[in-house]
A = this chain, B = another copy of it.
Amino acid sequence: MIRHTVVFRLKHAPGSEAEHDFLQAACALANIEGVQKFECLRQVSAKNPYTFGLSMEFADAASYAFYSDHPDHSAFVQQRWIPEVEEFMEIDYEPTGGL
């Protein structure tokens, strides 16, 4: 299992229609084959600069690569993510395996 997460802050005003529209578009990434447990989340800690997060799981590295290379993902990154996201950090998790 690989859990891919990204925490981010948009250029849009909080509560705006543009914010809502971006999040709706992000949710469509859940439809790419191999994406499991997709979540769109609100980031609520004051200890970092981010306001939203996406989380999803893949069975293995091949499924993750299929997602990353998928034309729908590439189009979202180019057409929505790069122009509309102010700041972000990607964090990926795997089980520690018996630690």
A43-B91 in contact (CB<8A): yes
The secondary-structure label for the interface of chain A is strand
Q: Name A44's contact: one of B40, B42, B52, B94 (CB within 8 Å).
A: B94
Residues of A in contact (CB 8 Å), total 30
* Chain B residues within an 8 Å CB radius of A97: 42
Inter-subunit contact A91/B42 (CB<8 Å): no
- A96-B55 Cα distance, complex, nearest whole Å: 12
**Could you give 7 example pairs across A and B, Cβ below 8 Å?**
A2-B44, A27-B99, A42-B95, A42-B97, A44-B93, A47-B90, A91-B91
Further pairs besides A40-B96, A43-B91: 17, Cβ < 8 Å: A2-B44, A7-B91, A23-B99, A24-B99, A39-B93, A41-B94, A42-B93, A42-B94, A42-B96, A44-B94, A45-B90, A47-B90, A48-B89, A50-B91, A53-B93, A89-B89, A91-B91
